[in-house]
């Protein structure tokens, strides 16, 4: 009975090793694959066959390290062995199919592993690079359909599942630029097949750019990475321009847009239009079309549009509303002790409900605070220094501005007396100096006159009558 059970267990083991060891391998044409058998006992003979067991022999390996490969022309220079594993280089369409590995060892049953190598066809039907708005068409399918068909789907560059049954057909946007993966998934195993998609588009920018009169200004506009200028030229670019719509005192935008810059497509240099003190970032070949200024002013408030027009009539553009925070001191920032000062902080518009202003002041200063301004009834020495205004949205500080208050002490009565006395003394000194100068000049004239008379005496006999 014991011997019968052992024989039965051995038979079951043989059946499992022969029929249960079957693997599915998914691969693209031109790809290298490695087929690794389930087990590889020591001192074993290894045989690899194509299509079926004892079919066309692809490779063999003996315990002494001797090996051989098929002389068939289609397998030439494509096969190698790493241990018992078969390596196939640059799979061609007619090389997909069934591979069988038989491992024989003295005193043991043959171990059989069957590999089903299934071709995966990954096709990008649209011509890359795509212009934003073009249709992106991706297809992923199997060359042969195995039992229990695997699940096939696409992952976008953001890792989102896209498409239906291995097919994606959508309008391309900036977020579609990058690596897409066709995923073939069966049970817990999955295999990814990457495809690179290039979409010519402008990088997304924030709708508002916050700065202050105490800060630099950058208005962003750039191609999405890693799109190059050469790829843009392939889509037949026609013009690149910057336009500006000023913010009016009423808070609305002007209907009359001003052209700030246009790009010379041959020289890749900017031609200046309306001068607002802004400068382009000269990094066009890397896709950077932004504008900068070392310090913003309230004149920069408004809407900026960066646009790229192509010969097919399509236009790519980004718009940014520039918000400039400013502190104003009334009547002025230079004051004397006891004066009242009002500090107002504004973006030129009424703040949305989710925004607020925070004030910063010298440590010992005291003031009366209002939503958009503060009042110091009587400034003193403790109010001297930097005052700041911060614009917050939720827990994020958007920008801040600063102003320097200079507070001078009042002139006392004694100081006035001293200043007036000094002025009188200075005036007296000037008068005395002038009088002394006049007297000395008169003495000099008289002395000269006397000398002249000594040198030229009157002739004898001459008498005045």
- Per residue in 37-48, pLDDT (tens digit) is 988 888 899 999
Those residues with Cβ within 8 angstroms of residue 345's Cβ, 6 or more apart along the chain or in another chain: 325, 326, 327, 357, 359, 372, 373, 389, 401
Looking at the structure, do residues 31 and 100 belong to the same domain, yes or no? yes
Q: Are 304 and 257 in contact (CB under 8 A)?
A: no
pLDDT of residue 462: 41
Q: Is the pTM of this model over 0.85?
A: no
Looking at the structure, do residues 40 and 61 belong to the same domain, yes or no? yes
Residue 85 lies in a domain: yes
Looking at the structure, do residues 72 and 143 belong to the same domain, yes or no? no
Residue 7 lies in a domain: no
Domain boundary among 142, 176, 199: 199
The count of structural domains within the chain is 4
pLDDT of residue 236: 93
Residue 15 lies in a domain: no
- Other C-beta atoms lying within 10 Å of the C-beta of residue 253: 16
Q: Tell me which residue of 154, 111, 109 sits closest to 136, measured CA to CA.
A: 154
Residue 264 lies in a domain: yes
Domain boundary among 301, 323, 345: 323
pLDDT of residue 362: 87
Looking at the structure, do residues 113 and 152 belong to the same domain, yes or no? no
Looking at the structure, do residues 49 and 26 belong to the same domain, yes or no? yes
Looking at the structure, do residues 310 and 381 belong to the same domain, yes or no? no
**Average pLDDT, 10 consecutive residues per value, the chain (465 residues):** 38 38 91 92 92 92 93 93 95 94 89 94 87 94 83 95 91 94 91 94 95 95 91 93 93 92 93 92 89 95 97 95 96 90 93 92 81 88 91 94 89 63 84 79 70 58 42
CB-based burial of residue 182 (10 Å sphere; 0-12 exposed, 13-18 middle, 19+ buried)? Answer: buried
Query: In the structure encoding, which two tokens stand for residue 322, read together?
Result: 């520039």
Looking at the structure, do residues 139 and 184 belong to the same domain, yes or no? yes
Half-sphere exposure of 119 (CA within 13 A, CB side): 14
pLDDT of residue 463: 41
Kindly give the pairing relationship between strand 189-197 and strand 161-162.
unpaired
Residue 110 lies in a domain: yes
Residue 224 lies in a domain: yes
pLDDT in tens, 306-322: 999 999 999 999 999 99
pLDDT of residue 458: 53
Looking at the structure, do residues 114 and 158 belong to the same domain, yes or no? no
- Look at residue 436 and give its three-state secondary structure: helix
Residue 49 lies in a domain: yes
Looking at the structure, do residues 129 and 113 belong to the same domain, yes or no? no
Looking at the structure, do residues 218 and 309 belong to the same domain, yes or no? yes
**CATH number assigned to the domain comprising residue 249:** 2.60.40.10
Q: Rounded distance, CA 215 to CA 411, Å?
A: 37
pLDDT in tens, 410-445: 764 555 667 778 888 888 888 888 787 777 777 776
pLDDT in tens, 351-381: 999 999 999 988 777 788 887 889 999 888 8
Looking at the structure, do residues 293 and 237 belong to the same domain, yes or no? yes
pLDDT of residue 436: 76
Identify the domain containing residue 150 by its residue range: 125-199
Domain boundary among 157, 180, 199: 199
């Amino acid at each position: 009975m014991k011997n019968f059970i052992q024989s039965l267990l051995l038979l079951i083991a043989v059946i499992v090793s022969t029929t249960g060891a079957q693997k599915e391998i998914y691969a693209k044409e031109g790809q290298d694959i490695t087929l690794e058998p389930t087990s590889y006992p020591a001192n074993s003979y290894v045989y690899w066959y194509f299509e079926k067991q004892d079919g066309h022999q692809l490779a063999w390996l003996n315990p002494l390290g001797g090996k051989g490969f098929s002389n068939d022309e289609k397998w030439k220079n494509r096969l190698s062995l790493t241990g018992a594993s078969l390596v196939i280089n640059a799979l061609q369409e007619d090389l997909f199919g069934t591979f069988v590995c038989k491992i024989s060892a003295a005193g043991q049953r043959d171990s059989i592993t069957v590999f089903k190598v299934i071709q995966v066809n990954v096709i990008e039907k649209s011509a890359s690079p795509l212009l934003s708005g073009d249709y992106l068409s991706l297809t992923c399918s199997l060359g042969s359909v195995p039992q229990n068909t695997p699940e096939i789907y696409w992952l976008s560059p953001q890792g989102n599942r896209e498409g239906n049954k291995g097919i994606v057909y959508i309008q391309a946007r900036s977020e579609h630029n990058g690596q897409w993966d066709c995923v073939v998934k069966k049970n817990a195993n999955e295999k990814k097949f990457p495809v690179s998609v290039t979409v010519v588009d402008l990088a997304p920018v924030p709708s508002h750019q916050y700065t202050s009169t105490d800060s630099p200004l950058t208005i962003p506009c750039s191609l999405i990475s890693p799109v190059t200028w050469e790829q843009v030229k392939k889509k037949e670019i026609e013009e690149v321009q910057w336009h500006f719509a000023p913010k009016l005192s009423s808070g609305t935008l002007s209907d009359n847009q001003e052209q700030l810059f246009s790009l010379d497509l041959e020289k890749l240099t900017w031609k200046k239009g309306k001068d607002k003190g802004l400068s382009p970032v000269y990094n066009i070949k890397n896709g950077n079309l932004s504008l900068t200024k070392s310090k913003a002013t309230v004149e920069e408030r408004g809407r900026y549009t960066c646009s790229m027009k192509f010969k097919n009539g399509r236009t790519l553009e980004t718009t940014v509303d520039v918000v400039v925070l400013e502190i104003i001191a009334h009547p002025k920032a230079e004051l004397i002790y006891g004066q009242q000062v009002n500090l107002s902080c504004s973006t030129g518009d009424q703040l949305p409900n989710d925004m607020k202003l925070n004030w910063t002041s010298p440590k010992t200063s005291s003031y009366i605070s209002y939503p958009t301004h503060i009042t110091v009834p009587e400034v003193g020495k403790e109010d001297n220094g930097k005052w700041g205004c911060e614009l917050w949205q939720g827990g994020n500080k958007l920008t801040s501005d600063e102003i320097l208050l200079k507070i001078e002490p009042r002139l006392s009565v004694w100081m006035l007396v001293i200043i007036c006395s000094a002025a009188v003394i200075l005036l007296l000194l000037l008068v005395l100096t002038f009088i002394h100068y006049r007297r000395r000049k008169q003495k000099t004239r008289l002395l000269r006159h006397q000398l002249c008379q000594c040198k030229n005496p009157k002739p004898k006999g001459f008498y005045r009558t």
